[in-house]
Amino acid sequence: MSDRLLGAVCVVLAAGMAWAGKDYAAPISYEPVGPRAFPLLLSGLLAAGGAWLVLRPGPHASGLGLASMKTLGQAAAAVLAYALLFETLGFTVATALMAVPVGMAFGGRWTQALAGGVGLGLMLYLMFDKLLDVVLPTGVLSFLFGGR
């Protein structure tokens, strides 16, 4: 698979994510941003990254070997597990656990990926909860965050 093809797949997936997330709305509007902000933000980032892969200058013939496809599959499985365990484990724990295989797919060690995931999970939770007033599930850490 060439970089351009991967980029095109990312753009198509981003369009699907944006289309699926455009109608997300809370039954009672008590949050200033609302539930559609996160999927739309992620789809925008995914589309930008995909477009960069498609449009960047330089050679694009570098194919993904079998090992790279396996790593890509592991990262995709981690994101699927993240979606399934998001509410049960909570945003912070699910994000930290998802970051390990994804970080390793990008060449990091598992300790680096876990530390980055914990930092990312905590930082994003505090940003969404305190700055944007978006309620995220706390899951197993509900005793720390007030039990939502």
pLDDT at 47: 87
Q: Which DSSP state fits 130? A: I
What six digits make up the tokens of 5?
A: 């093809």
- Residue predicted with more confidence, 107 or 119: 119
Task: Determine contact, residues 86/39, Cβ cutoff 8 Å.
Answer: no
Q: At CA 117, angle to CA 34 and CA 128, rounded to 5?
A: 20
**Would the pTM of this model clear 0.85, i.e. be above it?**
no
pLDDT above 70: residue 99: yes
Least confident of 10-19, 108-117, 130-139: 130-139
pLDDT at 32: 64
Q: At CA 129, angle to CA 124 and CA 133, rounded to 5?
A: 130
Number of C-beta neighbours around residue 68 at 10 A: 13
Residue 9: closest CA among 83, 72, 65: 72
Break the chain into its structural domains and give their ranges. Answer: 1-63, 65-136
Q: What percent of the chain has pLDDT over 90?
A: 8
